[in-house]
Amino acid sequence: MNPRIKLTIAAWLCFSAAVEAQRPELTFREGDGRVVIEVNGEAIAHYVYRDDAIPRPYFAHVKTPGGIQVTRHHPPQSGDRSDHATMHPGIWLAFGDLGGEDFWRNKASVRHVDFLQEPASERNMGSFIEKKQYTGSDGRIVCDEEFRFAVLAKPEAILFVVESIFSGTQPFSFGDQEEMGLGVRVATPVTEVAGGNLTDAEGRAGAKTIWGNAAAWCDYSGVIDGQRVGVTVMSHPTNFRETWWHARDYGLITANPFGRAAMKQGAASRIVVQPGETFRLRFAVYVHSGAEDDAIAKAYGDYAKLGQ
């Protein structure tokens, strides 16, 4: 495991003796164009980096430590809304305007180049580093991304930590749209229209209230099989500016620090990255069973301390 990632994620949690005894065993299993993340031998997420139908990497089939799926079925099944089937596969990072190309709507492609660090795990944590290349609809290379991923399994929650470092040999820019950033599509029973709840770090509730406002985190929770489960998306305080939330009652939350005009928060924004420069984004996804807002706030506080 990459020493930097290992030390960073290890710092997130100090185990008591009781928790140490319950600590889950996390492993990676590599398949055809995917890395399957397993906890105690059961798959809790698939990282798909090669898919003929979706030209960008994504996480699908994301589950709690207890095995309850919290992202929408991919592809959607009977009883699920079928909209955006190839745009909202589970958890993804995408941009509707990057270098003038639309990677959110799959009109341009994000290609897996190689693993700079192969997937590796140790006890209840694991990590990998991937190189991606963003290619426009005309075949030109827009930019590269070094995607750093780490995962930590606890008895009651899974924490995904993602860091993306963008660079290019030519200038490129991030534009201003709703569809920019880290997105999650939750399981149908968790959606607001099915009785689920959207809340944010500022105490707001409901998609209409949360949409377009800034907050450190946004949580989507609901009841499946009698158990309350949820997904919290977190924006790291070292990101280049505050994050606004593209939140929808049908099950979408997107952490978007780019869409200032699109989110009705000011003048149109364009973030330009010059050759020789790098641009970094940091997010986390907290998949939990039964967590209340105070537990989520504590988890965010621990995450926010990483790498400052």
Q: Which residues contact 189 (CB under 8 A, 6 or more apart)?
A: 195, 196, 222, 223, 224
d(CA 73, CA 187): 7
Judged by DSSP in three states, 129 sits in strand
- DSSP class of residue 54? -
Q: How would residue 23 be classed by pLDDT, with cut points 50, 70 and 90?
A: confident
Residue 280 pLDDT greater than 80, yes or no? yes
State yes or no: pLDDT of 17 exceeds 50.
no
Average pLDDT over every residue of 77-91: 97
What pLDDT, in 10s, does the model give residues 148-193? Answer: 999 999 999 999 999 999 999 999 999 999 999 999 999 999 999 9
CA separation, residue 280 to residues 22, 188, 214, 238, 274 (Å)? 35, 32, 19, 9, 13
The ranges assigned to domains in the chain are 3-304
Stretch 43-47: mean pLDDT:
98
What would the CATH number be for the domain defined by 3-304?
2.70.98
Mean pLDDT of 259-266: 98
Q: CA-CA distances (angstroms) from residue 232 to 8, 75, 175, 182? A: 20, 22, 25, 12
Would you say residue 39 has pLDDT above 70?
A: yes
What pLDDT, in 10s, does the model give residues 58-82? Answer: 999 999 999 999 999 999 999 999 9
Query: Are the C-beta atoms of residues 260 and 195 closer than 8 Å to each other?
Result: no
User: 11 pLDDT exceeds 80?
Assistant: no
Mean pLDDT for the chain overall: 93
Average pLDDT of 39-56?
97
**Strand pairing partners for 172?**
273
pTM: 0.94
Residues contacting residue 195 through CB under 8 Å, at least 6 positions apart? 189, 222, 223
